[in-house]
Structure 1
Amino acid sequence: MTEPVLATHDLTKSFGALRASDGISIDLRPGEIHAIIGPNGAGKSTLIHQICGGLRPDSGSVRLLGRDVTAEGIAARSRAGLGRTFQISALAMEDSVLQNAMLGALGHSGRPWRFWRPAHADADLRARAEDSLRRVGLADHMHMRTANLSHGQRRQLEVAVALTLDPKAFIMDEPMAGLGAEGSALLTRFLDGLRAEAPILLVEHDMDAVFALADRISVLVYGRVIATGSARDIRASAEVREAYLGEEA
């Protein structure tokens, strides 16, 4: 069996009497989209924060490309190849599309911001940023003010910023949030092709997108994974229907 690109083992995290993560073990395999679904309060955000390095688990481990990164922070995991997009956009809205992508490339370089040599004058950084924008279809918009992009285009820009980090895995937190039906359909097609760049761990409430995209789905309820399987497996699970899907299935 191919070694997972990303894996958690028995992740546990409590906040007082609340156990937000209860022994979570999941993995992400090369070329796949693995969706994490569950009701509000299931512990999805807590899980993502632990995977990305923003929250230290009480016990358990996170491995990236076979290496234990549990003790490493967000920046170190990003440099190691973990690319993240956020539920709420973290883009600099007043900057241009190219400037946002170049900031990502600057982070990949590991070099500090140099006031005596502005980053925008760095040919290597610019080339990496322009390449990432071309790959997501935003090359013609690189000089546009980011605030003027459509919501879907901003999601594409977030992916472009992540691509400048040469990601080995994407972590995507509700990329469909705020999109209408047409925007969701466009982004679904985009993400379907993106898995060729790197596998995607997808947290999403849009069940149409989940069932269209996911090779595997894990269902999280009260901090515990109650089922993992294909879309067909999840649709057929009585426990999942009772706990979460209901009529959505």
Structure 2
Amino acid sequence: MLWVGIVALLAGAACIWVAVRTQRRVHAMMAAETLSVPELLDLAGVAAELAGRPGTFRKVCEVVGQTAPAPVGVLRSDLAGVDCVWHMQRVERRFERRERDDEGRTRTQTHTETVSERTSPHGWALLRDGHTIGVDPGGRHPDPVERVLDRFDPADDRGRGGDRTVGYRNQEWVLRPGVAMYVLGQVDDRDGPLVIRPPQDAGGTFVLSTRTEAELTDSDRRAQRLWARGGTALAVLGLVLTVAGAIS
């Protein structure tokens, strides 16, 4: 009972931590300004005049627009061959393994492992009212994005150690041109043109979504309440069980 209580306490603390992070994201979206590209260009010009050189502008804000290709042009996804500005593919191997349980009985268990995962190396642009700004995702994935492939290819391969490969699941996601997108991050001109990217501050909020700000805040508020209530309930249960276990 003592260990169950400790596990419940840890799970409760984790849920509350997620609730706090979610609440911080809501506050960050509510506090950030939504700026157009011309407004950002004006601010960058003022920063360059004050510093005596370009490349010093930094501004955390929100930018909205439609996805457009980076200077490298429209991309083509690796597996489905879909025109896009960003793509990601994942290949998972499903295999069977003979395992022995605590009572010495042998049974076949099915497992899944990721064989490969690849994301397009380039960012993209946001277009609004004839003006564009670059988007550097910094290794993050836009959310949500369109899944254009989910295919399972059967196999029957016996590998070393007795594992038997059942097959491979191939999945691919894309971000097409012309998709409405909301981005909260840091706009800077350190590479020349204006680019919005994850904030340099480690605790800064970065949001990259094809949902609107209103949809995101509504969803985050609901999730925050659920995480907070669940965390509180687990923490109380864990405390009761831990005390009971310690006494007994």
Instruction: Answer yes or no: same fold by TM over 0.5.
Output: no
The structure with more radius of gyration: 2
Bigger fraction of residues in strand: 2
Bigger fraction of residues in helix: 1
Higher relative contact order (CA 8 A, sep 6+): 2
> TM-score, normalised to structure 2's length?
0.24
